[in-house]
C-alpha cells in the first residue's frame, strides 16, 4: 500500500489545473459550481423509490419535475443495487431502461441523461437512445468490455468504489485504512481508463457500497484527499443507511439528514450531489455558494 505522501507528491501539481467541465456528447457541463444529479429508478425494488416510476408517463412527469427544480443530470437505473440485491439479466435491464431514456431524450432533448449500469451492452444501447454519461457501481469488474466501451463512446464515466457485490457487500466489510485503500483504487482505475483514452472521469467513493456506517463517515470527512486526482467528486448519500440506521429512522424520513450531510459533502469538495430530492439539494447548493462567497 502506498502512503498518502507518496500519492500526493506524485499528483499534487495537477491541482493547479482544476477540472471544471464535462463533455456530454457535445454539451458542456460546467462544474465551477456544484450540480445536482436526480435519481430516477425505473425498478420495482430500489430501497427508497422502487416501483414508483414504471410507466413512461410517470417517468416523464418525474423527469420534468427534476429538471424544473434544477437537476443538471437525470440518472436512470434499471437494476437495484441496494444491499442484498440480485443482478438481473441483460434483457430485463434493457427492457426497463431504453424506452424511458428514449422518451426523456425525445421530450427533453437538452436534458443530460446518465445510465446507471454495470454492463457494456446496456451502456451502448443507452447512449444510442440518448444517454450521455455512464454511471457504473462496479468499476468495470463485472464486465470486462465496459471500460473499452466507455472509451469508444467518448462519454463521461462515473467510477465508483465498491467492496464486493450488492448481494454480499454489506457482510462485514473491512479495511485497514479505508481512505488510502479507496484512493489507491481510484489511482489504479483512473490509470486504466486514461490508457484507453477516457477523458472525463468522475469519482464516487461509494457511500454504502461495502462500507459500515463508520466507514461512510470516515470517507465523507476525507473527501478532500481524493481531490489530489484533480477529478470531480460525486457524493451519493441520499436517504442511505449511514443516515437512517444511525438516526434510527427510515429512508422515507431521512430527507433532513440527507440535506445535512449533503452540505458537509459540498464543504469537503464534492461537485455533484446524487439525490432523490432535487429541490432540497438545489437549495443546499445555493446556501453553500452563499457561504463560500461571503467568507
Catalytically active residues are 240, 274
Q: d(Cα 191, Cα 29) in Å, to the nearest integer? A: 23
Enumerate residues 6+ apart whose C-beta is below 8 A from 217: 242
Q: d(Cα 119, Cα 143) in Å, to the nearest integer? A: 6
Enumerate residues 6+ apart whose C-beta is below 8 A from 181: 1, 175
Calculate the alpha carbon distances from 247 to 48, 208, 215, 219, 280 in Å.
Answer: 16, 15, 16, 18, 20
Give first-to-last CA distance, the chain, whole Å: 38
Per the listing, cell 467513493 goes with: 205
Phi-psi region of 283 (alpha: psi -120 to 50; beta: other; left: phi over 0): alpha
Q: d(Cα 230, Cα 118) in Å, to the nearest integer? A: 25
Per the listing, cell 464534492 goes with: 270
Amino acid at each position: 500500500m502506498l502512503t498518502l505522501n507518496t500519492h500526493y507528491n506524485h499528483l499534487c501539481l495537477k491541482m493547479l489545473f482544476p477540472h471544471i467541465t464535462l463533455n456530454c456528447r457535445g454539451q458542456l457541463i460546467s462544474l465551477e459550481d456544484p450540480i445536482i444529479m436526480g435519481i430516477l429508478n425505473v425498478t420495482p425494488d430500489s430501497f427508497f423509490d422502487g416501483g414508483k416510476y414504471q410507466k413512461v408517463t410517470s417517468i416523464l412527469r418525474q423527469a420534468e419535475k427534476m429538471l424544473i427544480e434544477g437537476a443538471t443530470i437525470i440518472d436512470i437505473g434499471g437494476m437495484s443495487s441496494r444491499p442484498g440485491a440480485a443482478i438481473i439479466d441483460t434483457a430485463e435491464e434493457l427492457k426497463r431502461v431504453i424506452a424511458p431514456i428514449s422518451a426523456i431524450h425525445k421530450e427533453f432533448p437538452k436534458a443530460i441523461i446518465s445510465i446507471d449500469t454495470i454492463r457494456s451492452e446496456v451502456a451502448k444501447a443507452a447512449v444510442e437512445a440518448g444517454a450521455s454519461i455512464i454511471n457504473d457501481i462496479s468499476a468495470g469488474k463485472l464486465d470486462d468490455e465496459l471500460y473499452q466501451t466507455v472509451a469508444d463512446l467518448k462519454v463521461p464515466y462515473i467510477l465508483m468504489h465498491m467492496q464486493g457485490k450488492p448481494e454480499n457487500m454489506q457482510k462485514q466489510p473491512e479495511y485497514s485504512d479505508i481512505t488510502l485503500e479507496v484512493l489507491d483504487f481510484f489511482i489504479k482505475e483512473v490509470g486504466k481508463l486514461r490508457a484507453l483514452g477516457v477523458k472525463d472521469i468522475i469519482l464516487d467513493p461509494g457511500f454504502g457500497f461495502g462500507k459500515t456506517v463508520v466507514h461512510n463517515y470516515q470517507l465523507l470527512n476525507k473527501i478532500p484527499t481524493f481531490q489530489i486526482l484533480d477529478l470531480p467528486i460525486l457524493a451519493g448519500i441520499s436517504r442511505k443507511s449511514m443516515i437512517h440506521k444511525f438516526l434510527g429512522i427510515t429512508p422515507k424520513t431521512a430527507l433532513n439528514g440527507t440535506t445535512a450531510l449533503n452540505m458537509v459533502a459540498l464543504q469537503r469538495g464534492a461537485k455533484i450531489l446524487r439525490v432523490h430530492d432535487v429541490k432540497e439539494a438545489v437549495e443546499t447548493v445555493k446556501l453553500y455558494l452563499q457561504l463560500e462567497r461571503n467568507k
